[in-house]
Structure 1
Amino acid sequence: MPVNLKAPVAQDLAPIAGVRIGVTEAGVRKANRKDLTVFLLDEGSHVAGVFTKNRFCAAPVQICREHLAVQGAIRAMVINTGNANAGTGTDGLARANATCDALAGLLKIDAKQVLPFSTGVIMEPLPVDRITAGLPAAIADAQPGNWAKAAEGIMTTDTIAKAFSAKAVVGGKTVHVTGISKGAGMIRPNMATMLSFLATDAAIDAALLPALAKQLADQSFNRITIDGDTSTNDSFVVVATNQAGNAAVTDWNSADGQALMAALRDVAQKLAQAIVRDGEGATKFIQIEVEQGRTEEECRQVAYAIAHSPLVKTAFFASDPNLGRILAAVGYAGIEDLDQTRIELYLDDVHVATKGGRNPSYEEADGQRVMKQQEIIVRVQLGRGAANTTVWTCDLSHDYVSINADYRS
C-alpha cells in the first residue's frame, strides 16, 4: 500500500488547453490493461526534456534526444508500458522509429515531431505491430480531460496512479499546470525508472524550456531514491502550449516568473514524492534534510549515503532506532575533512546525537516513537557552513524483494 497517497480524482486534474490525451489497450505485454497512451499537442507548443544518465539508455531515449535536437516543433508523444525497448540494439532503434513513423502517418506530421517513450521489461523486442495496431484507438480516444486515465495507462509496478494539478496567476491570466508520473522501483537520481509528463497552458519563451526542465528535475525527481538503481528509460518532459493568453514569461526572477515556477515546482515535487510513497514494498516515507554543509553537493553526498544505505532503510522498516547506522552513513559519504564532533542528528523533534555522540538526554523510547511513524524527517547538521539540501526516500521491506523477484512472471 502506498504511504499516505491517494489515487487522483479525474475532476481535480485541470485540462491543459492545447493537449489532448488518448489511452487504449494494445496488449503490449498483458491483455486487458491500459498500456498505450498518446499525447497530441497543438501547433505552437514548446517541448523540452531531461533523460537518464545511464549509458545503456533505451532506444526511445535515444530517439527522443535526436528529435528534440531537431529544429521542428514536437506535435505528439507515444508511451507504451510492458516493454522498455532497452538492451535491444539497432533492432530496438528501428522499432522505436517505426512507432514514430506510424503515429506521424496517422497525424500527417513528420516522424521527427513525435517523441516515443517505453517502460517495462528490458531486453525483449518491442511488439511494434501491436503498438501500431492500437494507435488509431488511442487517437480516437484523445481528449483534454484524460489525465487520470493516462496516469493509469503509464503504470508498471506502481500500485496507484500519480497525477497532480496547480494553477497560478501570470500576467493577469490564470494558468494551469498538470502532470503525471510513473515509477515505484529502480529509482535513483539521474533520474529513475520513471516517466513523467508535465504540461502548462502558460506562454513561456521557448528558449527557457530546456533549462526549466533540468531545474525542475533537479528540484524534484533528482532528489528521490528508492533502491539506488538508475534505470535505462527515465524521461521527464515539460510542455508549454502557450494558450493561456499571458504575455510570455521571459525571466524567472520576475513576479510572473516566480508565480509560474512555484506552480510548476509544486506539481513536479508532488509527482516525485508520490513515486517514493509508492515505492515497491514501501511502508514509510522519509525526508532527509542535511544542513550546514560547505556546498550543496556535499550535503547531497551525505543525504544519499543515508538514503541508499540498506542498513538504514531496513532499520526504518523494522522501526528499530539503530541510529548508529545513520551516523556511519554520514561518515562514509566521502567528505574527507568531516569533523565528527560537529555532527548533530535529529529524528523529527528528537535530538539523537550531539557533537558526534549520543545526546545525554536521548531516550530510545523517543527514537522508537518516531521510527514507528509512517512519515519521518531525518535532519543532519554538519557544522561546516550554510548550504543545505533535501532528499526523499522510503524504507526497504520484504515485499521489495518479492516484487522484484517476480517482476517478469
Structure 2
Amino acid sequence: MFDDLIEFIRGWYQTRDFIPLHEPRFKEIDKKYVLDAIDSTFVSSVGEYVNRFEKNLASYLGADHVIAIVNGTTALQVTLKLAGVCSGDEVITQPLTFVATANAIAQNNADPVFVDVSLKTLGLCPDALEKFLSQRTIRKGDKTVNKVTGRPVSAIVPMHTFGHPCEIKKITDLAEDWNIPVIEDAAEALGSSIGGKFCGTFGKMGILSFNGNKTITCGGGGAIITNDQEIAIRAKHLTTTAKIDHPWKFIHDEIGYNYRMPNLNAALACAQLEQLDEILKDKRKLSMAYENFFKASQWGQFFNELKGYTSNFWLNTIMTSDKKQRDDLLEKTNEAGIMTRPAWQLMPDLRMYKNCQKGDLKNARWLADRIVNLPSSARINV
C-alpha cells in the first residue's frame, strides 16, 4: 500500500539514496558570507552580520525589534522571564509540542499546564483554553489565579505546530480578557502567516528557531521578536551577560545569560534569509504535490492550512486511519531509506511532566496516534 508513496518521494527528490526528513539547503552565497565573517575575524557575538540579521529579519517580519540568540529554546526561556514568569507560577501551553516548549517553562522554575490542541490547526485550541480559564481560574486584581493551587497563571505559550498557524488571534484576544501575556512559540513557523501578518508577531513576544532542520538555518540560532522597545533593550542586555556598556570595564548589574548569536552563525543566517522566499515557494510546490497524491490515494489524509492561513509547510503531515497504519507506514518507509517520523510523545506522558495539570487531551491523543511527518526538504537546483 505504501510503495506508491515511496516511489513518489524518490521521484520528487530524484535520488535512490537515503532521504532525510528535513535537510538544509546551501548555495554559494552561504559560503561567501561565512568566509567573509571568518576573514573579518569577528566570529563571536560582536560583528556586523549580527546587526544585519536582526535588522533584515525585523524588516521581513514587519516587527520593530529582533534579538538574535543561540537557539529557540533559550529564546523562549528568556521571553518567559521577560514576561514576568516567576518561580512557582503556572504557564499554559499545549501537550502536542517539542519538549523545548515545556522545558523552557520548567527552566524558569514554573509549571506547565497542558491544554488540548485543535484538530483544525494542531496548535493550542482556543475553545479548550477558554474552558480551562473559565472553569479552573479566577481573576484576583490584575492576576489570573488557579482556583486549586492558588498560583498565578503568568503566561500562555501556543505553538505553531509543524509550521501551521494556530488560531493565534482568538488566543491573544482571550488572553487579553484574562490579562495573561502570550508568548508565541513560532520556532517552526518562519514565513507562516494569517492575513498577511507573520506568526511570531501576534503575542507580547514571539520566538523563532534556526536549528539545522528548520526552514532556514545557521546551524543553531534563534530569535526573540517584539514591538516593545523596553522589552527589546532588556532582552539584549540579559542575553549579553547583563553587561553594562563600557569601553573596558566589566560591570554586570544582574544575573544574565551568554546567549547572543555569534557573528559566524549570523553570516549564514543572513544568506539563508535572502533565500527564504525561494525556499518557501519550493516547499509549497511539494505540499501541493503531496496533497494531490493523497487525494488520489485510498489512504492517508493530508493536513492542509486553513482558509486565510498561510503555512510554511515546514513538515508535511498526514493522518493515518489508526495507530497500526501509522506504525506500518513508519516501518515501511524507514526500512526503504526514507525518513518519516511520528508526532512527539505528548508532554504529560513524559516522566518529568506526568504530574502537571492538564485538561481533557482527547484531540492531542487522537492526533498523536495518527500523525506521520514526511520528507519536507526544499530541493536544490530543481
Q: TM-score, normalised by structure 2?
A: 0.25
Structure with the larger helix share: 2
Q: Structure with the greater relative contact order (CA < 8 A, sep ≥ 6): 1 or 2?
A: 2
Q: TM-score, normalised by structure 1?
A: 0.24
